[in-house]
Structure 1
Amino acid sequence: MLPDSIRNLHRPYERIAEIIQLSGGSFIYKSLWFFSPNILNTVDPANIHYIMSSNFSNFPNRVLFSRIFDILGDGIFNADSHEWKSQRKLAHSLLNHQQFQRFLVKSSWNKVERGLIPVLEHVAKQGSVVDLQDVFQRFTFDITSVLVTGFDPGCLSIEFPRVEFSEAMDDAEEAIFYRHIWPELFLKLQRWLGFGREKKLKEARRTLDRMVAEYISRKREELSKRTITVEDEDGVDLLTSYMSHPEILGLKTDDKFLRDTIVNFFLAGRDTTSSALTWFFWLVSQNPQVESRIREELKAFIPAEERENRRLFSTQELSNLVYLHGALCETLRLYPPVPFQHKEWTASIWGPDCLEFKPERWISESGKIKHEPSYKFLAFNAGPRTCLGKGVAFTQMKAVAAAIIHNYQVRVVEGHPVTPSSSIILHMKHGLKARLSRKWV
């Protein structure tokens, strides 16, 4: 398989899809190297359910996953057994706490209104081409930073400043992707001699460690000057919750634990949502009838006298947008942000129209959102490891999508190449270049 992998390095996901089609849904990746294990690849929902739900305890992450994703440390994505259960229980509790929920709503709204809209207004006024993928990554980086640490780095601005943290994350994700392809001996050689992507990964880790240490230090200083109470009207960020009452949490919340937790949350929050939004706007640009339906749905929630004005949408309004929700789910089905779990396109699972962008497949006959089982729709993982931030992701995606579609016309630059990058996250290799024009004066 290694020669085939090398020949298809420029199109890894397309090649995997071809092999899955030819193999009938499952195949074994046989290693040519003595120390590398054979790997079973499957898209069969029955297998997915068995591995990730009904027999979950027999399929831990263990050594291989933790070694490939060592930059995540002992965080929730690498943890197993009791340690994983403790971290997940705590994260679930904090993410669903009323303090964090208040903070999520307020922070997301503020970042759309005071960060995203000013940038889009500037771009529309200038008539310039903008990379929407870059815009969405800056948006999700800022909002993730606010939600996780309480600090806003202000990366989403008309100056488009360099984002060292994001660059380090991109380098790390690319290097981790190639760890799935190159034999371990070659990777060890890169680490020993200090070259290639392993060198970039080492440098990226240094950057992340340094910047996360600064976050922790600033938060510790901030907490020494004020007291956090449950009644805080504005809500609190996750790092504050972890550091305020460590004895109550039941975990050893030292700097190593905090570092690993922050990096894991950043990976989950920054990359997946921005990837989904990028592919969503490309799909919508290719399917104008979908864009029209979303606009009509948005209009239905706006008083007649306000329909020709610029506006944002409240959390309650966003929760009622069924067709938009379906369009986002359809995007995640076709282009899941974590493509190593990509199985959603197969005809045997989704029918002969599986390659078509059809938000309607997510809407029931009664007009409600249709919920598919997670072992069929794996965008948010499945079983006990189902993504804890699913609700957070949909809140942010709907807020951004509704704000842009109602207030702007988005046109992807004609002839712009759209192809996936080689990364563990399904970014677009060349970004998504587009022009925006204001709908309302």
Structure 2
Amino acid sequence: MGIDLTNAALISLAALAVVAAFIVRRGRDRLHDIRGPDAKSFWLGNFEDIRYQDQVGDCEFPWMREYGGVWKIHGIMGSENLVLADPKALQYVLQTSGYRFPKRRDILASVRMILGEGIVYVHGEQHNRHRKIMNPAFSAPQLKSFLSLFQNHGGRLVQKWKDEVVSADPSADPVFNVHRWLSRTTLDVIGETGFNFDFGALNNHDNPLSKVYENLFIDSMLYPHRLDLVFRHLWRQLPAWLLWYLRYIPSREYTRFRQYQNFMRKFARELLFKSEAVSGSKDVMSILIRANGSESDVSKLREIEVLDQISTLVLAGHDTTASSLTWWLWELAKNSDWQTRVRDELKQARAKVEERGDDDFSIQDLDGMSLMHATLKGTMRLHPIVWTLGREAGQDDVIPLAFPIISKSGKQLSAIPVKKGQMIDIAIAPYNRNPEVWGEDADMWRPERFLEIDKSRQTSVGVYANLCVRSSYRIAAGLRGCIGWRFAIIEMQAIAAKLVENFEFALPPQTEKTKIKRKPAGLMAPMADGYRGIWMGLRVKALA
């Protein structure tokens, strides 16, 4: 957690270089009439509360209940952020406004350190260029062809548990970290579907690719050094070319991501070479390469962009899916009645599959499982893998609200004017628990709400159950909506069906060491005080 003299010197030099400009830009209070919590300090503001809370939502959920769907927080060094958890405001910023609310420069620099210059990093016309080339790889026929691969990998995970874990101690149902197994499985899935390559992660826990991903965000982003938060805020004043070299700072916040990206770019070159050598392959990378080859020189992705697309696909295509399934199993373990209902639904669907002589569920079968969908939606609502996003106003604008808020002066506000450069936080986790959207029981895991909900009365925010969730594969609509959201949902359904058909899940004995917490790393990670890194220990029993 410490910071060496080199880092301190860099921070001091950067602070001296920008302090004058920062004070001028600070100007007057642009959000003076918007309510929000008091700041604990000038240097960190409310980021002291947010970045060091024990669990995601410890501070944001009470703020939302007090102030409504929009509030103001004090940022670093006296800056101010507008926080949005109102559906119409989110719709406007993420969809209606197009590219008028780009990622902030400090956020972009962080993305570049992690994923390089792929589709998550680029903006505007460059983002359109990336998306156009990637679209053919996520067409409906292409996704349909992946289903059997998803099911095969889910079956391999089932057999692995039966052979090596559950049967290891026949006298008792074992408790083990299901997230680690799910992560290795989804890594193998993206290897085959993405690159026609066998990563071998499920069969080899020492797989180098698995190791480079293990606890990546925990090691780099959970509870950062306080000086690093101040330092990163100053990045907004620095040119992009200089920000690239910050990856060489020798502290834990930067070293881990640098090592990861160096590994992935070398690994990606090997995958790229292999994909170019195989014509007609239907994996995502081969389709992307063919689509890129048909573009003009102006529109083509550069080699470094293609390499970083691979890194993005691997991270977004396995880690977020594994984490969502992990939280889903946790909720089913806590709610045995719903686990039974989902299993019964699967039994009925399986009987129909056998009647028609098919080997496994079709996409239509999976889409028809309303109870499974309801539980997945309920889980993704309460446990979005990325819990906040950073934006800024690219120009003066007015953000509309679905639910008016009360200002400090007592006025009712149905829209919020913002100035160019205003920092905005997309409050994903609070929106997903906003009682004005989801009802007074918004904090409860209640899947039946998705069977009862009147979609026509909701403001459209996301393409899946109107949720604002996930990360690089974020299931939100609009120009920056997730290109692979349907891929992720089908994969989750296929693996989820295999697991619930074959196993029963329950919580282990609940102690302070096994209590699961939503830790505020870059991803909302399940952790327990008695275990290092991401951990979701569940009691697993094989069904006859």
Q: TM-score range by the shorter chain?
A: 0.7 to 0.9
Q: Which moved more, 1:57-66 or 1:286-295?
A: 57-66
Aligned to 2:443: 355
Aligned-partner Cα distance in 1 for 2:100–2:346: 46
What amino acid maps onto 1:356 in structure 2?
M
Preserved contact between residue 421 and residue 427 of structure 1 (Cα < 8 Å): yes
Name the residue aligned to 1:410: 505
CA distance in 2, matches of 1:177, 1:249: 41
Q: Which of 105, 130, 142 does residue 176 from structure 2 map onto?
A: 130
Q: Does 1:153 align with 2:205?
A: no
Give the corresponding residue for 1:31. Answer: 75
Which of 16, 35, 39 does residue 60 from structure 2 map onto?
16
Q: Alignment identity in percent?
A: 20
- CA displacement at 1:82 relative to structure 2: 1.1
Opposite residue 325 of structure 2, the aligned amino acid is L
Aligned pairs for 1:46-195 within 5 A? 46-61=88-103, 63-70=105-112, 71-96=114-139, 98=141, 100-113=142-155, 115-122=156-163, 123-127=165-169, 128-157=174-203, 159-165=204-210, 167-168=212-213, 170-172=215-217, 175=220, 182-185=228-231, 194-195=250-251
Over residues 70-125 of structure 1, what are the superposed CA-to-partner deviations in whole Å (9 max), with x where a residue is unaligned?
A: 13222111211111112223322321063x33541232122122x21221212221
Please, which of 309, 322, 330 is the counterpart of residue 370 of structure 2?
322
> Within 1, Cα distance between the matches of 2:264 and 2:210?
6
Letter of the 1:116 partner, please give it: L
The answer to whether the 8 A contact 1:216-1:255 is kept is no
Does structure 1 conserve the Cα–Cα contact (< 8 Å) formed by 2:503 and 2:541? Answer: yes
Post-superposition Cα deviations, 1:249-278, rounded to whole Å, max 9, x if no partner, equal 444244202112112222321122111111
Secondary structure at 2:72 match in 1: strand
Distance 1:245 1:112, change over 3 A: same
8 Å contact kept, 1:420–1:427: yes
Q: Is the 8 A contact 1:312 1:403 kept in 2?
A: no
Paired residues of 1:362 and 1:371 also in contact (CA < 8 A): no
* 2:525 corresponds to 1:427: yes
Partner of 1:438: 542
Does structure 1 retain, via aligned residues, the 8 Å contact 2:346–2:501? yes
Letter matched to residue 406 of structure 1: E
Q: Whole-Å Cα distance in 1 between the matches of residues 461 and 130 of structure 2? A: 22
What is the match of residue 231 of structure 1?
A: none
Question: Do the aligned residues in 2 keep the contact of 1:333 with 1:344 (CA within 8 Å)?
Answer: yes
Taking a change above 3 Å as real, the CA distance of residues 258 and 334 of structure 1, as seen in their structure-2 partners, is same
Deviations 1:140-165 (A, max 9, x none): 111112222211211112x5334445
Match of 2:326 among 278, 301, 306: 278
**Aligned residue pairs: how many?**
421
Q: Specify whether residues 171 and 302 from structure 1 end up closer, same or farther in structure 2 by C-alpha distance, changes over 3 A only.
A: closer
| 1:169-200 Cα distance to aligned partner (Å, 9 max, x none) | 74257535667974342798986751232222
SS in 2 for 1:69: helix
Query: In 1, Cα distance between the equivalents of 2:270 and 2:214?
Result: 17
Do the aligned residues in 2 keep the contact of 1:410 with 1:437 (CA within 8 Å)?
A: yes
Q: Which amino acid aligns with 1:78?
A: Y
Q: 1:278 to 1:371 in 2, by over 3 A?
A: farther
Greater fraction helix: 1
1:398 aligned to 2:493?
Answer: yes
Q: Is the radius of gyration larger for structure 1 or structure 2?
A: 2
Determine the C-alpha separation between the residues in 2 that align with 1:33 and 1:46: 30
Distance 1:405 1:247, change over 3 A: closer
- With over 3 angstroms needed to count, the CA separation of the structure-2 counterparts of 1:438 and 1:120, relative to structure 1, is same
Give the distance between the partners of 2:140 and 2:66, measured in 1 at CA.
Answer: 47
Aligned CA distance change for structure 1 residues 4 and 184 (closer, same or farther; 3 Å): closer
Give the AA of the match of 1:197.
E
Q: TM-score, normalised to structure 1's length?
A: 0.85
How far has the Cα of 1:394 moved from its partner?
1.5
For 1:87 and 1:418, locate their aligned partners in 2 and report how far apart those are by CA, in whole Å. 38
Secondary structure of 1:428's match?
Answer: strand
Gaps of 5+ in 1: 229-234
The 1-side partners of 2:353 and 2:71 are apart by: 58
CA contact (8 A) 2:47 2:75 kept: no
SS in 2 for 1:161: coil
276-285 or 415-424, larger mean C-alpha shift: 415-424
Letter in 2 for 1:357: W
Contact 2:381–2:467 (8 Å) recurs in 1: yes
Aligned to 1:373: 460
1:204 aligns with 2:260: yes
The reply on whether 1:239 has 2:326 as its aligned counterpart is: no
SS in 2 for 1:268: helix
SS in structure 1 opposite 2:75? coil
- CA contact under 8 A between 1:277 and 1:397: conserved in structure 2? yes
Work out whether residues 330 and 538 of structure 2, in 8 Å CA contact, stay in contact via their aligned partners in 1: no
**Aligned mates of 1:246, 1:26 — CA distance in 2:** 42
How far is the alpha carbon of 1:292 from its aligned partner? Answer: 1.7
Asked if 1:302 is matched to 2:392, the reply is no
Q: Which runs of 5+ in 2 are unaligned?
A: 1-38, 236-244, 389-427, 470-474, 529-534
